[in-house]
Structure 1
Amino acid sequence: MAGIAFDLPTDVELEESVPRGHAARLEQTLLQARALIESTVSLHRRRPATVSGVTHMDAEVTAETLERLVRGARRSVNVALTGSVGFMEAVLRRLVQVPSGVTVRVLCNPAALEVAPARLRSLPAVRVLRHELCGIVVVDGTAAFLRLGTEGSADDRAAVVTDRAAVSTLQLLYAGAWSRGRRLVDHPEPSPRLRSELTRRILEQLRSGRTDATAACALQVSLRTYRRHVAEIMRELDASSRFQAGVRAVELGLLHETR
């Protein structure tokens, strides 16, 4: 990777260089870049030493290293959160230590928003996107902190990346994801009703494409009751169609995205 050269995007370029209208073309580039990072992480997981600007660390030194990177920021701290409670707690606790004048951006997926909604809503620049990034913190475009554990595991191992090409790739990945994210202030907080088990089951029926009669029978409710629930759910989601209701349910983390 040392032979690859990238120009690090500035903070302004990070915000403006990837317009939303280019999302389709950007998607392929992001997938290629993500594959590059995943292959790099996979390679260095098997090597105990520091190689090509990737340093591995155990859980006990993770917090100290993260704090040092964040405190040393001069221009920007860009964060991607995926819902890992331990990683989120470590990152959010240290964001308050970012020096004055440093731009902080936090990109979270619905799972992360569900873990710490109040703390995320207190931050100035947060966007929501069902992204595929691992937990990362990119500081000044020169260093990156990566969570290596798989989602849902208790593995808190991490790596610090200082290789210019690798950090540039992570910065590009983040820029693309950030450009497609929805501002948290525009992202409604689901009501308790929308988080109920009945609502989830109804949304699953809608996504499956079953007829109202079949869905009502499966849920053991009358057809009239089923349709009333559907109308109420669509109203709370501010959806004009059942398809739109499904899309918004995924955005809010009420349904898992199908692949």
Structure 2
Amino acid sequence: MGPAIESLIRGARVSLEVALSTDAEVSRLTHAALREALRTRGRSLRARLLCTPAMVDTRFVREVTAAGHAWEVRTTQMPPLCAVVVDGSATLVSVGPPGASRASLIQAATILQAVRNFYANVWGNATALTERIHFGDQPRTDTVRQVLQKLRDGVTDEVAARELEVSVRTYRRYVAEIMTLLGAESRFQAGVYAAALGLLPPPEA
């Protein structure tokens, strides 16, 4: 599956639509191929990458954001699926968990359109990782970063609230507001999105 995806991505001339929700090795190979395409053909290609939180490559998200091309990355929960649609005319699809799936190259117009419709529906409800999120004034931004760091570090609500000198109720309200702003459904997702968006500094060694 991985080599086939790499070959398709290398052959893209106009557009790429990629979905990754399973198989870490396929995700690694796909991100490597996308990274090369971004470096060599980023200006001429339109690309969209859709992946589950577990498949997010935060370094790649930052590279896409910094490049400023017509590339987007979004994340959401999806069924076990890997798909690449190239130039709107061919797609490689693999459905099922790693080791129990089989890839199929599809060029039939009706099936291809069904895959693209499914992709568009999921994409429309996914959370964008390559859009810069603004949290308002600087004091509020600083608070958001502090809360995100507490979430990333696994600090309990009680300890985090004490360190930030707020009540536990206020701290939990901050967490809820941040999750809403990020479009996250859990604290774990909030941490993934925040890292992908570059909202958190690297953890201390």
Partner in structure 2 of residue 158 of structure 1: 103
| One-letter code aligned to 1:122 | E
Provide TM-score, normalisation by structure 2.
0.62
1:249, distance to aligned residue in structure 2 (A)? 4.2
Contact 2:151–2:187 (8 Å) recurs in 1: no
- In 2 relative to 1, CA 157–67 (structure 1 residues): closer, same or farther, beyond 3 Å? same
Deviations 1:2-28 (A, max 9, x none): xxxxxxxxxxxxxxxxxxxxxxxxxxx
Report deviation, 1:89: 0.6
- The correspondence for 1:143, drawn from 57, 81, 90, is 90
Q: Quick one: percent identity of the two aligned structures?
A: 20
TM-score using structure 1 length: 0.51
**Pair 1:110 & 2:53 matched:** yes
**Kept in 1: contact 2:16–2:46 (CA 8 A):** yes
Give yes or no for contact 1:194–1:233 (8 Å, CA) kept in 2: no
Q: Which of 92, 113, 127 in structure 2 is aligned with 1:168?
A: 113
Map 1:151-230 → 2, pairs under 5 A? 153=98, 157-184=102-129, 185-186=131-132, 191-197=148-154, 228-230=167-169
Quick one: structure 1 residues 139 and 253, their matched pair in 2 at CA, closer, same or farther if it must change by over 3 Å?
same
Partner of 1:88: 27
User: Structure 1 residues 81, 148: closer, same or farther in 2, change over 3 A?
Assistant: same
Q: For 1:163-184, what per-residue CA distance to the aligned partner results, in whole angstroms no more than 9, with x for missing partners?
A: 2211111111112222333321
Q: Which amino acid aligns with 1:195?
A: R
Larger Rg: 1 or 2? 1
Which runs of 5 or more structure 2 residues have no equivalent in the other structure? 135-144, 192-205
Q: 1:228 to 1:87 in 2, by over 3 A?
A: farther
User: Alpha-carbon deviation of 1:128?
Assistant: 2.8
Match for 2:186: what amino acid? V
Looking at structure 1, the residues matched to 112 and 93 of structure 2 have their Cα atoms a distance apart, in angstroms, of 11
Of 114, 122, 143, 2:63 maps to 122
Question: What SS does the corresponding residue of 1:132 show, helix, strand or coil?
Answer: coil
Counterpart in 2 of 1:77? 16
Q: CA deviation at 1:106?
A: 1.1
User: Could you list the per-position Cα deviations for residues 167-217 of structure 1 after superposition, in whole angstroms to 9, with x for gaps in the alignment?
Assistant: 111111112222333321346998342135555xx7xxxxxxxxxxxxxxx
Q: Aligned to 1:141, what secondary structure does the other structure show?
A: coil
Name stretches of at least 5 consecutive residues in structure 1 with no aligned partner. Answer: 1-61, 203-220
State which drifts further: 86-95 or 123-132.
123-132
Once the two structures are superposed, residues 37-81 of structure 1 have per-residue CA deviations (whole angstroms, 9 ceiling, x without a partner) of: xxxxxxxxxxxxxxxxxxxxxxxxx33322221122121111112
- CA distance in structure 2 between the aligned counterparts of 1:229 and 1:159, rounded to whole angstroms: 52
Q: How many residues align?
A: 165
Cα contact 1:148–1:159 (8 A) shared by 2? no
Secondary structure of residue in 1 paired with 2:16: strand
Q: How far apart in 1 are the matches of 2:20 and 2:58?
A: 12
Q: How does 1:13-24 map onto structure 2 within 5 Å?
A: none
